[in-house]
Amino acid sequence: SYFGCVQCISGPLGMYRNSLLQVFLEDWYNQTFMGSHCSFGDDRHLTNRVLSLGYATKYTARAKCLTETPITYLRWLNQQTRWSKSYFREWLYNALWFHKHSLWMTYESVVTGFFPFFLVATVIHLFYRGRLWNILLFLLTVQLVGMVKATYACFLRGSLVMIFMSLYSLLYMSSLLPAKIFALFTINKAGWGTSGRRKIVVNFIGAIPVTVWGLILLGGVAYTIY
C-alpha cells in the first residue's frame, strides 16, 4: 500500500463504500466463470469491482480482527488451492483495469501471476540436469532468501519467533507450488476446497498434486545420482 494500491481486501475485515457496492452488487452476487456460478473468491471479486470503477484500495496495519484458520496440513492445502483458483480467475478480471491504476500494481500482478510457472520450469530444469550441485545450490538459495525475510520480520515485530517464517519457503516449494498448478488445471471445479468452519471436513484431493510433484522431484534426484 506504499504505492497506493492493494489487489485484494480479504474477508475477515474489509470495508467498502455503500454507494459503490450498490453499483455492482447484483453483478457481484451473480458472477459466473466458465459457465459455473462462483462460490469462492467473493472478497477478491469485491475488490476488483471497486478497482474496475477506477477507485483505489488501501491497507492499514492498525486494523485487528480474529478469524479461524486451518491448523492441519490437508485443510491448509485445500484452502490454498481454493484461494489459488480465485486468484487466477480474478487475475484475468483484474487485468482489464490495469490501465486505471498504478504502474506498480500492473508490475506486481504480472510478476506474481507468472512466477509459479517460471519457478516450476526452473526447478525441473535444475533437477534433471544431472548435476547434484545445481540441486543443492537451488535449495540453499531458497532457504537463504527465507532466512533473510524471516530476519526482517523479526526486526519488524521485535520477536525471534518470526524466524520460523523461514519455513514458509519449504512449504511453498513442496506444497503451495504444486497446489497452484493443480488449481489452474481444475479452476472450473467449485465443489470442493476450504471446509466450512462449523463442520470440519478432511479432503484428500489436495494431496494429489503434492504427491505428483514429489515424484517428479524424486525422479530428478534419482536421475542426477545415476
37 three-class SS: strand
Q: What is the pLDDT of residue 4?
A: 66
Instruction: Give Cα separations from 34 to 52, 96, 173 (angstroms).
Output: 20, 17, 29
- Look up residue 191 and give its three cell numbers: 465443489
Is 123 in contact with 117 (CB distance < 8 Å)?
no
**Segment (H or E) for 79:** helix 73-94
Q: What is the pLDDT of residue 202?
A: 58
Q: What is the pLDDT of residue 48?
A: 85
> Burial of 156 by CB count in 10 Å (0-12 exposed, 13-18 middle, 19+ buried)?
exposed
Q: What is the pLDDT of residue 68?
A: 76
pTM confidence score: 0.81
Q: How many CB atoms lie within 10 A of CB 154?
A: 17
**Segment (H or E) for 182:** helix 177-185
Ordered per-residue pLDDT tens for the chain, 226 residues: 567 667 776 666 778 889 988 998 888 888 877 777 776 677 788 888 888 888 888 877 788 878 778 888 888 888 888 888 888 888 888 888 888 888 888 888 898 889 999 999 999 998 998 888 888 888 899 889 999 999 999 999 899 999 999 988 889 999 999 999 999 888 877 655 455 555 555 567 878 899 999 999 999 999 988 8
Query: Which residues lie closer than 8 Å to 123 by C-beta, 6 or more apart?
Result: 138, 173, 177, 217
Q: What is the pLDDT of residue 117?
A: 92
